């Protein structure tokens, strides 16, 4: 059952859902009315606008039922591992074991937004001395203390080294509260010294061979811990199969991004694309279903492009977006202001690049971990952003600061300078807290000004 | 002698000195560095070339260090480490804003594995290449051992003088060792008062007044567990190992001996504190942290839960003059509760 693409409210979605039911459109086991999630406290959903495709509904229901899925997995005897910070590497290993489910407790950073602070997670973090000067990921502490957001993992694995201090400090606080963490080191990716063997990483960055070897050894420690945890040998064959599956997800996302960001008329809104990209990091706790969800989304996009349909104005300003937003509503806001997303760098491009399948598994995973844009220099990160801006023909850049995040204080200036010098496109830096209601007008004004600047430049 | 500036305690001064260069662990002055307009050797022109102004979310120490490094015309090289994420990012700003030769040293946050220790040692090797490029000479083991002995003796001397120095003099003696290298003869002046510890990241130049403020208020800092204080000094070298393999001993003493909140896990910091607080009969703790320093800020509540001692939180935004009066009042009130 397909309809003219448009964005709908939650209430409109419910009406449409009734129609879909009557028309006999099959729903997955986790399907149902989107509004039922309001009863769980996800009140922000009332203020968002959604793509009206069945594929988008499935995506949202998949996202919003993850906690249920984790609890069901535990009930079925699966072991749950909390992977933290590395955004994409350790879950590939964990899902290679057939009795382990991995997820990122870091994802709780969206809870204050989705539940509009009703869960009280930030208040708990406050009481533990982690106040609003930290990144909203501090909500994770509250989620652990209350145990109400996700089942507490039996094993926690966190990358540390070239990572944000705020996350590292919060994770250490968690460790100090009695949730022991297996720490593994990811060093700052550096330029190879003259004469030093260099490795070209997925995505295009380079690193010295010795750093790849170091990370490989660190991941071997993680592998051993996972094996002990699962009571299973994590063989090369299993890892290779896990990498192939992860690559399936990555290829689907690559196609989706290429089609959506490159289309003349926007075939899928920014919000759904953000959620879709997030599936890459831990598959929303069900790898096979994540693949099915993405396939349906991709099919919908292909159909829309074939039919020449889409959303938003065809002259929407093509915006490249840097960093994920703490308030999902800002993705809607950009579109309200006359923009559309044409390229993203949500801090985990390494989880979108295909993992080499022609290398020994641990070598491939180590290369992938080192390809993380956040572990290298700002110049590296900016250069990849420039490449992607060119690829998707973006006309302006929004750098979205995460309040309290240690990397945000200086990165905007450096990335902005490099992008402007190289591409001469306007760059806007904004800060997006978990709830933007009180600053919505100011944000709107700034985003509108950016869109206006893009339109003016087109006239020249 | 060519001067190499740095601030992180995990950069061994001995290693730089053994290359025939002058190590200088700078103690930045936020007020002075902000007043400087534009470095003469900046390759850029326009607004981007001026010192870094206040930026929302930027730790005032990082800002002060970067400005000091950008404006230091006597330095021929700067070493920054990855111990602090904002410093790591600051390195990118530094390399874009001025022409000073710069080196980013990977200091692992994990410490319990052989691989982490080896990474640190390898980084010292890479630092050596950098120093040689700047005109230094790769030291022989004997030359390194000799420099290590000099520094070791200086540190022993400073530690031994603790009982005879005011807290400020003691802190300044440690800072002077980092800035100027080993020297002889320190003035003696012992203060009395309620024994306190000061815990936190590095101090800036104006912050040394805090020792006077404490003494004027009836206390005495008997444990300087700031990064620029005793906590940031490596322990004594093992003489036998020093002669057998000086570089490994140097790495062990620094990487294995300096405890910091940034380590993962940072349990050894608490073990060290537990020992030192008890040994010095500390009765209260001044917890000094920079606004936006997540690493130390996150430890405040944990420290309060961990210790039976009273803890006074002093947050610093970098405006020492304005903050001094606030510190004074808070420290006086704190000491009143302890007496």
Task: Give the distance from CA A171 to its chain's centroid.
Answer: 19
How far does the CA of residue B309 sit from the closest CA of chain A (Å)?
A: 17
Q: What is the C-alpha to C-alpha distance for residues B43 and B51, in angstroms, rounded to an integer?
A: 13
Q: What is the C-alpha to C-alpha distance for residues B284 and B221, in angstroms, rounded to an integer?
A: 10
* ipTM surpasses 0.90: yes
| Residue B163 and residue B119 share a domain | no
Question: For chain B, how far is it from start to end, CA to CA, in angstroms?
Answer: 50
| Residue B104 and residue B14 share a domain | yes
| Residue B172 and residue B293 share a domain | yes
* Six-digit token string for A371: 């390809």
Question: For chain A, how far is it from start to end, CA to CA, in angstroms?
Answer: 44
Which range marks the domain in which residue B68 is found?
3-133
* Six-digit token string for A458: 């087109």
- B292 and A134: CB-CB below 8 Å? no
Q: What is the C-alpha to C-alpha distance for residues B77 and B88, in angstroms, rounded to an integer?
A: 16
Cα A261 to Cα A258, A334, A351, B261: the distances in Å are 6, 15, 18, 43
Tokens 């040998």: give the residue: A233
Residue of B nearest to A169 (CA): B295
Cα B253 to Cα A313, B4, B119, B124, B139: the distances in Å are 64, 21, 15, 13, 18
Instruction: Report whether pLDDT(A191) > 60.
Output: yes
Q: Tens digits of per-residue pLDDT, A115-169?
A: 988 878 999 999 999 999 999 999 999 999 999 889 999 999 999 999 999 999 9
The residues in B 60-119 lying below 8 A from A, measured between CB atoms, are 82, 84-86, 88-93, 96, 104, 106, 108-110, 113, 115-116, 119
For A172, the closest of B265, B293, B304 (CB atoms) is B265
| For testing contact with chain B, the best of A222, A408, A409, A427 (most B CBs within 10 A) | A409
The pLDDT value given to residue B184: 56
Which of B133, B150, B174 terminates a domain? The answer is B133
Which of B133, B154, B185 terminates a domain? The answer is B133
| Residue B292 and residue B151 share a domain | yes
| Residue B275 and residue B311 share a domain | yes
A356 at interface of B, judged by CB pairs closer than 8 A:
no
Biggest CA-to-CA distance, chain B: 56
- A378 and B298: CB-CB below 8 Å? no
| Residue B26 and residue B64 share a domain | yes
Residue B61 belongs to a domain with what CATH number? 3.40.50.11890
Beta strand A181-186 with A155-161 is: parallel
The structural domain count of chain B equals 2
- A409 and B58: CB-CB below 8 Å? yes
Which of B85, B100, B133 terminates a domain? The answer is B133
| Residue B126 and residue B162 share a domain | no
Q: What is the C-alpha to C-alpha distance for residues A246 and B246, in angstroms, rounded to an integer?
A: 47
Q: Tens digits of per-residue pLDDT, A369-414?
A: 999 999 999 999 999 999 999 999 999 999 999 999 999 999 999 9
- Where does the pLDDT of residue B32 fall: very low under 50, low under 70, confident under 90, or very high at 90 and above? low
Cis ω for the linkage preceding B210 (within 30 of 0): no
| Residue B333 and residue B270 share a domain | yes
Q: Tens digits of per-residue pLDDT, B221-245?
A: 999 999 999 999 999 999 999 999 9
Residue B293 belongs to a domain with what CATH number? 3.40.50.11900
| Residue B29 and residue B166 share a domain | no
Residue of B nearest to A167 (CA): B294
SS3 A427: strand
Residue of A nearest to B306 (CA): A176
User: Residue A122: which H helix or E strand, with range?
Assistant: helix A121-127
- B109 and A185: CB-CB below 8 Å? yes
The pLDDT value given to residue B190: 57
The pLDDT value given to residue B38: 38
B54 at interface of A, judged by CB pairs closer than 8 A:
no
Cα A268 to Cα A299, A312, A327, A450, B142: the distances in Å are 11, 9, 19, 22, 68
Cα B45 to Cα B39, B49, B51: the distances in Å are 10, 6, 12
| Residue B110 and residue B175 share a domain | no
Length of chain A: 460
């Amino acid at each position: 059952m397909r309809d003219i693409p448009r964005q709908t409210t939650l209430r409109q979605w419910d009406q449409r859902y009734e129609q879909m039911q009557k028309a006999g459109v099959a729903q997955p086991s986790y399907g149902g009315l989107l509004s039922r999630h309001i009863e769980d406290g996800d009140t922000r959903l009332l203020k968002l606008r959604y793509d009206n495709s069945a594929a988008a509904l499935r995506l949202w229901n998949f996202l919003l039922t993850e906690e249920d899925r984790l609890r069901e997995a535990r009930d079925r005897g699966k072991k749950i591992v909390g992977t933290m910070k590395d955004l994409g590497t350790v879950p590939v290993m964990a899902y290679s074991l057939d009795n382990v489910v991995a997820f990122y407790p870091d994802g709780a950073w969206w809870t204050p937004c989705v539940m509009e602070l009703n869960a009280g997670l930030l208040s708990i973090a406050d009481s533990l001395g982690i106040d609003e000067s930290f990144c909203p990921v501090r909500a994770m502490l509250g989620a652990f203390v209350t145990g109400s957001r996700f089942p507490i993992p039996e094993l926690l694995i966190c990358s540390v080294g070239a990572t944000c201090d705020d996350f590292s400090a919060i994770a250490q606080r968690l460790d100090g509260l009695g949730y022991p963490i297996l720490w593994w080191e990811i060093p700052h990716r550096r330029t190879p010294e003259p004469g030093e063997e260099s490795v070209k990483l997925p995505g295009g960055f380079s690193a010295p061979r010795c750093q790849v070897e170091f990370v490989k050894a660190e991941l071997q420690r993680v592998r051993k811990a996972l094996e002990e945890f699962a009571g299973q040998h994590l063989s090369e064959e299993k890892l290779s199969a896990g990498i192939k599956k992860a690559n399936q997800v990555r290829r689907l996302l690559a196609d989706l991004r290429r089609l959506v960001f490159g289309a003349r008329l926007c075939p899928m809104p920014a919000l759904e694309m953000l959620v879709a990209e997030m599936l890459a990091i831990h598959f929303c706790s069900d790898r096979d279903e994540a693949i099915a969800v993405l396939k349906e989304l991709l099919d919908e996009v292909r159909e829309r492009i074939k039919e020449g349909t889409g959303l938003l104005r065809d002259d929407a300003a093509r915006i490249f977006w840097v960093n994920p937003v703490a308030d999902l509503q800002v993705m809607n806001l950009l579109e309200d202001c006359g923009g559309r997303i044409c390229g993203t760098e949500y801090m985990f491009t390494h989880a979108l690049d295909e993992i080499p399948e022609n290398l020994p598994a641990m070598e491939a995973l180590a290369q992938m971990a080192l390809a993380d844009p956040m572990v290298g220099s700002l110049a590296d990160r900016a250069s990849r952003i420039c490449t992607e801006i060119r690829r998707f023909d973006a006309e302006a850049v929004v750098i979205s600061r995460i309040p309290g995040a240690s990397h945000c204080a200086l990165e905007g200036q450096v990335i902005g300078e490099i992008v402007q010098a190289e591409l001469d496109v306007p760059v806007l830096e904004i800060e997006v807290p978990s709830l933007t209601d009180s600053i919505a007008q100011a944000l709107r004004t700034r985003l509108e000004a950016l869109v206006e600047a893009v339109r003016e430049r087109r006239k020249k | 002698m060519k001067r190499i500036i740095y601030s992180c305690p995990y950069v061994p001064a001995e290693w730089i000195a053994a290359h025939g260069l002058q190590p200088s662990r700078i103690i930045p002055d936020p007020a002075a560095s902000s007043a400087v307009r534009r470095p003469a050797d900046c390759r850029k022109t326009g607004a981007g070339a001026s010192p870094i102004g206040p930026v929302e979310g930027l730790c005032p120490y990082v800002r002060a260090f970067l400005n000091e490094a950008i404006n230091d015309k006597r330095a021929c090289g700067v070493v920054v480490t990855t111990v602090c994420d904002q410093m790591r990012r600051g390195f990118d700003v530094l390399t874009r804003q001025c022409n000073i030769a710069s080196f980013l040293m990977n200091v692992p946050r994990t410490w319990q594995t052989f691989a982490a220790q080896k990474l640190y040692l390898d980084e010292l090797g890479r630092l050596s290449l950098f120093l040689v490029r700047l005109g230094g000479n790769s030291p022989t083991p004997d030359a390194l051992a000799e420099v290590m002995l000099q520094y070791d003796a200086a540190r022993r001397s400073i530690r031994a003088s603790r009982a005879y120095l005011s807290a400020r003099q003691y802190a300044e003696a440690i800072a002077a060792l980092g800035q100027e290298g080993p020297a002889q003869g320190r003035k003696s002046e012992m203060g009395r008062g309620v024994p306190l510890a000061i815990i936190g990241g590095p101090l800036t130049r104006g912050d040394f007044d805090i020792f006077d403020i404490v003494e004027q208020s009836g206390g005495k800092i008997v444990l300087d567990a700031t990064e620029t204080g005793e906590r940031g000094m490596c322990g004594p070298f093992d003489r036998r190992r020093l002669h057998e393999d000086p570089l490994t001993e140097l790495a062990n003493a620094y990487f294995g001996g300096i405890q910091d909140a940034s380590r993962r896990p940072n349990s050894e910091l608490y073990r060290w504190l537990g020992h030192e607080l008890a040994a010095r009969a500390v009765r209260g703790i001044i917890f000094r942290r920079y606004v936006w320093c997540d690493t130390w800020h996150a430890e405040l509540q944990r420290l309060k839960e961990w210790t039976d001692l009273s803890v006074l939180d002093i947050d610093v935004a970098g405006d020492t003059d304005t903050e001094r009066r606030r510190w004074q009042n808070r420290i006086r009130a704190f000491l009143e509760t302890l007496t």
